[in-house]
Amino acid sequence: MYERDFDPRLTSSERRSYYAEHDASAVAEDTEALRTADVLVLIFPTWWFGLPAILKGWIDRVFVPGVAYDHTPDFGRMIPKLTQLQSCFAITTLGSPWWIDWFIMFRPVRRILSRAIIGTCAPKARFSMVSLYNAEKIAAGKLATFERLLTQKLQILI
């Protein structure tokens, strides 16, 4: 997204039309790719136990009504639209140790992605996530182990 100079901010037109006939023309390539994807791989750093702003903005602009989900007429529930998505694999890095993410913060990024986003918009998709903890001071051996794990997981997706 950085290489494409992706703008994570909703345009005024996108915000005004969010629950109506949504104007997704500025992200048409992304929405079409999402509609037709059977696998989604997200690679990002975790910042303050959350998604980086550019990824959050991409989700806000691309996982929109009419593309990723629809609402029932009374807005009582969401109807998933990403029925072709079979799996989502998230790869992230954190500066903190694993136990803070798991036991203090209760894995917020995993919960948001697996339940709120993928779970709502593509409930049949298998979600998996791997996290590289203590990323700023990782030993070469642990990094090599993480790379092998990624290779194994990605081969399953292919």
**120 occurs within a structural domain:** yes
Q: Is the separation of the CB atoms in 2 and 45 below 8 Å?
A: no
Of 34-48, 66-80, 117-131, which range is least confident?
A: 66-80
What is the value of pTM for the model shown? 0.93
Instruction: Tell me the CATH number at 130.
Output: 3.40.50.360
Contact 69, 120 (CB under 8 A): yes
Q: Which of these, 129, 102, 107, lies nearest to 118 by C-alpha position? A: 129
Number of domains in the chain: 1
Residue 81 in domain:
yes
pLDDT in tens, 122-141: 999 999 999 999 999 999 99
